[in-house]
């Protein structure tokens, strides 16, 4: 399945090596980095060479392939023991995105079926994870776009497109599908401080595919909604708990509150691998805090006084009651709650919750 508004890929396996588009260099430089070890992959995830929950999971899966290659070449009879150090580094590279641990568990599930060189089977599983994400994004794109009215203007926060996934995107996948069938006519993108993912990545990505986008300061969203210039907010997610609470890029919660105040619909788009039914609600989600330098500077220039105190959470949690719909490749959940989310996932309530 293809779409003429789908032209980018940030993760590439070629000639037995992993290549990542260095998203820190965008939009000015398009530069790929070749990664040869799982340690390199963990570094790339931590340093945000690659970011976005689905993309992190896919990248980690390829990292397992590189780890197995190294472990098997050095210790062919005990590679499953020697691989653990690098797998641990991958697991702890970013704590909030549940896709990371999900992908590593799935790769581990292949271990018991391996005899001899582990790379072929693990590489096939990594390819499967990558392609399944793209397929899921197309399915979510169609399902989410079907909820939008004709001639709809939407606001999005952070980056959720091909740069944040295996390809096509989650929230941007819905926007791409909506634009292709005439439902979406205008996209507004928050700049997304302090890393400017909206400015550097979302605006750039949409411009590459010739989808109309207007960039705005995060603080302008309220006025945009008050002037009735947007009908839907569409965002992604890094983790969704059993009750439908959503962790996403910092600032998402603010946008959700504003949307409810102004009668704007709020959609979350994420693959089912982002749903963590082991966590009861959003308060259980570990929230990554990043270095103060990201707030003290902008584009390499200091913008704050020396020694200023900084709080820099990378994510916030939007309560389920502020969300109109969650779209996954398994289906659409309107007014999400625990019963609906568990039904979607075919799971059971966490131990701390009475079923």
Backbone torsions φ then ψ of 97, nearest 5 degrees: -70, 110
Q: Mark out the alpha helices in the chain (DSSP H runs).
A: 38-46, 53-74, 79-82, 84-91, 98-108, 119-145, 171-180, 197, 203-208, 221-226, 252-262, 293-296, 338-345
Non-local CB neighbours of 341 within 8 Å, separated by 6+ positions: 240, 242, 243, 244, 275, 277, 326, 333
Q: Which of 6, 209, 238, 284 is catalytic?
A: 238
Q: Is 238 a catalytic residue?
A: yes
Look at residues 319, 267, 246, 2 and name the one whose alpha carbon lies nearest to residue 147.
267
DSSP, res 109 = T
Please, are residues 64 and 46 in contact by the beta-carbon 8 Å criterion?
no
Q: How far apart are CA 266 and CA 326, in angstroms?
A: 9
37 neighbors 86 (Cβ within 8 angstroms): yes
Structural tokens at position 13 = 């396996």
Residue 73 has a CB neighbour count (10 Å cut-off) of: 11
Task: Compute how many other C-beta atoms are within 10 angstroms of the C-beta atom of residue 157.
Answer: 29
3-state secondary structure of 25: coil
Strands 11-14, 17-21: pairing is: antiparallel
Evaluate the CA torsion angle 104, 317, 225, 336 in order and state its sign: positive
Q: Which of 240, 242, 289, 288 is nearest to 268 (CA)?
A: 240
Among 234, 132, 150, CA closest to 190 = 234
Taking alpha carbons only, the member of 213, 218, 195 closest to residue 25 is: 195
Separation of alpha carbons 61 and 125, rounded Å: 8
Give the active site residues: 238
């Amino acid at each position: 399945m293809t779409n003429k508004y789908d032209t980018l890929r940030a993760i590439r396996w070629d000639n037995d090596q992993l290549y990542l588009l260095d998203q820190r260099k965008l939009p000015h430089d398009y530069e790929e980095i070749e990664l040869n070890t799982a340690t390199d992959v963990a570094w790339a995830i931590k340093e945000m060479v690659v970011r976005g929950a689905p993309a992190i999971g896919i990248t980690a899966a390829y990292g397992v392939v590189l780890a197995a290659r190294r472990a098997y070449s050095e210790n062919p009879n005990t590679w499953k023991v020697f691989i653990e150090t690098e797998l641990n580094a991958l697991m702890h590279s970013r704590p909030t995105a549940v896709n990371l641990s999900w992908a590593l568990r799935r790769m581990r599930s292949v271990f018991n079926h391996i005899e001899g060189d582990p790379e072929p089977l693990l590489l096939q599983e990594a390819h499967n994870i990558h392609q399944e994400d793209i397929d899921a994004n197309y399915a979510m794109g169609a399902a989410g776009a079907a909820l939008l009215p004709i001639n709809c203007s939407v606001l999005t926060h952070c980056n959720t497109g091909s740069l944040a996934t295996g390809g096509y995107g989650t929230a941007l996948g819905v926007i791409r599908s909506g634009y292709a069938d005439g439902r979406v006519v205008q996209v507004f993108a928050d700049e997304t401080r302090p890393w400017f993912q909206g400015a550097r990545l979302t605006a750039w990505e949409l411009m590459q595919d010739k989808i109309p986008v207007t960039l705005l300061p995060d603080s302008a969203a309220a006025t945009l909604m008050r002037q009735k210039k947007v009908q839907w907010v569409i965002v992604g997610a890094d983790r969704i708990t059993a009750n439908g609470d959503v962790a996403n890029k910092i600032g998402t919660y603010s946008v959700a509150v504003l949307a409810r105040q102004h009668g704007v619909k709020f959609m979350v788009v994420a693959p089912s691998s982002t749903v963590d039914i082991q966590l009861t609600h959003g308060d259980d989600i570990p929230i990554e805090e990043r270095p103060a330098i990201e707030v003290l500077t902008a584009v390499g220039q200091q913008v704050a006084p020396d020694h200023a105190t900084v709080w820099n959470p990378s994510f916030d949690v939007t309560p389920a009651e502020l969300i109109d719909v969650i779209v996954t490749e398994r289906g659409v959940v309107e007014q999400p709650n625990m019963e609906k989310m568990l039904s979607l996932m075919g799971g059971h309530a966490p131990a701390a919750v009475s079923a």
